[in-house]
Every structure is written in structure tokens, then in C-alpha cells.
Structure 1
């Protein structure tokens, strides 16, 4: 970071499946001001979603009109694959055509896009739960699942920028009678959306508050709700343990709505992680919740933009 950077800020934007949040991030402290939120219009045309992102960036920029030094750039965290050049390479949630060009035209600032899980991990490494260790594995567990390995304060991108998967590929294991293979994608059962689908497939009624309703039902003694949560936590916990076996991190940091929950899912998740770490001396490694809450994506987007300037 250059000497003058501690006087500068960057607009950070976190684009999620349900909301878009933005704020002005102080590069030295990670503090966020001018926090602004709007709903994500997932069913809108792609260019309209991009226009919403540009609108929220402009709204934050307007709050800096009286500042001696304005923001240096705009950073955007998106729930998609982003390559090492900052290009969005997937459209799992919604396409984002001409995103950086539209933001630059609207704000007159350079822009940089980053994968949301990598941005959040970067923020936790600099200002949150990962700042006291040389390496940690950040797992985001929410509507979907993803991960990032952080080394010496920076997220590891992989050769192309795609090192964020741990539950999205189909796995195959023999069936109980060993006559054939059972093939399934873990994220389809272990994520928040996967749990809701599994609940419905097992005959459950609609869930007004999603997974939180499942937790409430399980706490009241509903065996079906408890079974869905137990199965999801078992799948995710075993996969995270496999990540520990492969990466040998100092610490696990859990983010996302499920990762930062405090009910049955979180309790059973940790049990399955620790039970499936091969080296017993590592089974007691710290497993902590992300420390920056909803600010992590905003802060990480800003840090990613600064690193790319």
C-alpha cells in the first residue's frame, strides 16, 4: 500500500442473490461508511441489474462530494466465477454484461470485479478472523457453497482464478449393495437451497424463512427437519474435513448464513469436520465464524480493487 493510501478510500459493492450492498471503505482501517442497500432484482433483464449496481455506486459516490480526496476506484464482488484478469466467467445467478464499463462510465473511476468468496476471505485476512495467522481456509456456506485458501494475507486464486469450488462437482460412491454407483452433487444437498429442496422432496411444507424455519422445527422436535439438517451438516462437514486433509490450514473461518449460524446445523457441522480430519493432532484446529458480517464482501471488493490498481 502506498504512503498516501491511508488517506484514500474505495467504493466496495457486494452483489448478492437477494441484495446489493455498497459503502465507502477506508483502506487503512477497513471501516465502512455511507452503507447503502437495495434488493437484487434477479428476474430483471441483465442490463437492468447492471444499472442497479451503477446506481448504488453513484449514490455512494455522491456522499463523498465534499471530501478533499475522493475514492480511488470501485470494487465489485459478485457470486460468480471471476478469472485472474477480473472478467466474470459464469452466470449461475444472473449475467452481468458490460459491468465494469458501465460503472466506469457512471462514476469516472476504474473498476475491478472479484469473486465474492475471494473478496470476503481477503477482508477476513486483513481485518477479520484470519488476520492473526499465515494461512487459513475460508468456507462460505449459505444459499450456495464455495471456499478460498488464504496464504500470507492474500487469497489464493489458482492458475486461472477458479480455485473456489469444494462441493459443486458430482461425486460417485458405490450403492449399499455394491451393484452400481450413486452419483450426486454435494451442494445440491448441503447448501441452504439444497436443504430446502431436500425438505420439499421428503414431503415437507413450504418454509416461510427457509433454513431458519428448519432450525426452529428441529428445535421443537420435528424429526424430518432434524434429518435434513443432520444430513446437510454431515455432507458439508466431511467435505470441509477433506479440505483440511488436503490443505493443512492453521484455521478454518466459516462465513455465509449457515456458516455463521448457531443452531443444530452449525453444531453438527463442526462435529463432522473434527471427526473426519485424518491426522488426530490437527482435529482441534480453530474453527471460527467470520468476524466482519455483511461488511466482508464490501471491504473485500475494495481491497481487491486496490490490489489491481
Structure 2
């Protein structure tokens, strides 16, 4: 978009709290839309690849460009967005500051987007945004407490209590599989140290298959699922092992937190084949309390839109926890 285009978006965007822009900035794609925050409806949905190879400036420019396009479409309809919310796959503190650079270095994205568009911008972790959206408009509506588990390229989670994601003391309560764990070897010669996310995430599954077979997967985990349905023993083994690791981890969260439900999101989490079947089996087998073994294991109801809707629910403080749940 030209400078004139950005200026047009700026000058015609007074405050109206009924509509906000939601942007889900991922490692591979940017998804965005105009969100009615009273209903969760998304209009003017847009998607484009994330220009990671071009660097932070290009990423921020693309985010601003797609937001400005949506603002102008909304303005033409008399719908005036009050803010832009951006969900990112990084650590974000309670003030909305990006505090990690696992996928890309975008610490200045909030201030730069505000400068380009002239309306408030808020930032938070993508898993917390998606969990908030599911609490407000999706599978979490009936539940006072649930754990939202995002399974895709990486693995992350958010605990939701009374409709609000729990961010933790610093805003960093999103990890459950990122730390290396150590257990004694069977022959008592030392410890085995392993990182569950490196092994059981979508990326980890692809790397595991490539390491064992010497082949890459054309369409990632989708190819792995296809091969497994055709009876390929290696693909079935990779899926089964990853699902068992994840199922045991989710069971441990149930044992520790005792939520009303588990909601799975992300491309891998929302799959319905062998991976989902094995994950559920190992989760239930490893929950200690008999009463908890029947805990609902649900798929996110909002699909790809969860991150977009959740990003739009961000408040000017940058803290998703400070919003108020809308009830019937």
C-alpha cells in the first residue's frame, strides 16, 4: 500500500468499539479480518504468506498493509475499527511487549503499526488469543475452566478460568512441552534428556520421519497421516509415538490443574485421524483420578479464525486477561 493509502486509513478511523481488526501473525502465514467483537463474526478475511526470509521490516509492513486494506473496506461500509490486535507465536508480557524471537524479531511491531495506521495496536501470544476466542465464541462457552492446547508446528497451551486466559505473573504461561526433561536410563548408566516439543510437534514429527527414512514429506504431517492410512509402518510409528508423548503431557496437565475440559487447536490438534485417536487413548490412560478420565476432549470450534478473533479481543492495555466475558 502507498503512503497515501495508509494516510487514508488513518484519517478515516475514529473510535467505534463494535469492530476491531484481528491479525494472526504466524511463522508461515498472516491471517486477518474485521471482527464484530459482540458476535465474533469475521468479515473481509485475508490471508497471505509471512515474509520471514525478508526480515522484520517486511513482516511489519505486510501486517500494516493488510490492516489498512481492511480498515478502508470497513470504513466504506460504515464500520469503524477501534483498534488492531496482533497475535504472535512469541512470549508477550502483560504490557503487550514481545519478549522473544523464536520465529522472528518483531519487538517494535506495536509502535510501528500504531504509527502507520493511527489507531491503537495490541499484541499478545497467539495461543492465548485463540483460547480467549474459544472461551467467548467457541467450544469453551459452556465451561468455567478449560485448557486450550495448540498443536501444530509447535506446542503451547493456555489455561482459561471464567472466560479469561490466565497469563501468569509475567504473561509467559504458555509452555508445557518446551523444556528438556531428564529421566534415568533403563541400564542405570545416566540420564536421558529430551525435549517433547522437538519430538512430538508437527515439525518434530516431520524431522523424525526424515531422520529415519531419509525422505521428506511433501505436505508435512498431512502426508504422514495419508501414509499411515495406507499402512506405512514408519509413518504409523512416528504418529503413535508423538501422540503418546502429547497424550501423556496433556494427562499430566489434567492431573495438576483439574479443568472441566480440554480443547485442542492448531492444525495438528484439530486433526481427526490416527493421531487424535492415539492422543486421546494415552491421555485417558494416564489420568490418575477415575472421575477425571471422562473429561471432555474437544476440537476448537473456530478453526483458523480463532487467532484472528482472539487478537481482536485484545484491550488497549495489551493484556487479554483484562477483558470482560460477554454472557447471554
2:309 is the alignment partner of 1:293: no
* 1:11–1:71 contact (8 Å) kept in structure 2: yes
Deviation of 1:90 after TM superposition, in Å, equals 0.5
Report runs of 4+ in structure 1 exceeding 4 Å deviation. 306-309
| Residue of 59, 72, 90 corresponding to 2:82 | 72
RMSD: 1.5
Aligned residue runs from structure 1 range 190-209, under 5 A: 190-209=200-219
Aligned to 1:235: 245
In the alignment, structure 2 segments of 5+ residues that lack a partner are: 1-14, 324-328
In the alignment, structure 1 segments of 5+ residues that lack a partner are: none
Structure 2: how far apart are the matches of 1:97 and 1:171?
30
Structure 2: how far apart are the matches of 1:130 and 1:202?
39
TM-score, length basis structure 1: 0.96
CA deviations on 1:107-157 (whole Å, 9 max, x unpaired) are 110010010000000000000000111000000000000000000000000
2:196 is the alignment partner of 1:182: no
* 1:47–1:97 contact (8 Å) kept in structure 2: no
2:175 is the alignment partner of 1:171: no
Aligned to 1:120: 130
Aligned to 1:142: 152
* 1:57–1:103 contact (8 Å) kept in structure 2: no
Aligned residue runs from structure 1 range 7-26, under 5 A: 8-26=18-36
* 1:6–1:28 contact (8 Å) kept in structure 2: no
Structure 1: how far apart are the matches of 2:150 and 2:107?
25
Shift of the 306–26 alpha-carbon distance from structure 1 to 2, 3 Å rule, reads: farther
Deviation of 1:104 after TM superposition, in Å, equals 0.9
The range that moved more, 39-48 or 157-166, is: 39-48
* 2:147–2:263 contact (8 Å) kept in structure 1: yes
* 2:146–2:261 contact (8 Å) kept in structure 1: yes
* 2:17–2:81 contact (8 Å) kept in structure 1: no
Structure 1: how far apart are the matches of 2:116 and 2:56?
17
Deviation of 1:59 after TM superposition, in Å, equals 1.0
Aligned to 1:44: 54
TM-score, length basis structure 2: 0.90
Shift of the 137–307 alpha-carbon distance from structure 1 to 2, 3 Å rule, reads: farther
* 1:46–1:97 contact (8 Å) kept in structure 2: no
Shift of the 134–252 alpha-carbon distance from structure 1 to 2, 3 Å rule, reads: same
Structure 2: how far apart are the matches of 1:73 and 1:7?
8
Aligned to 1:93: 103
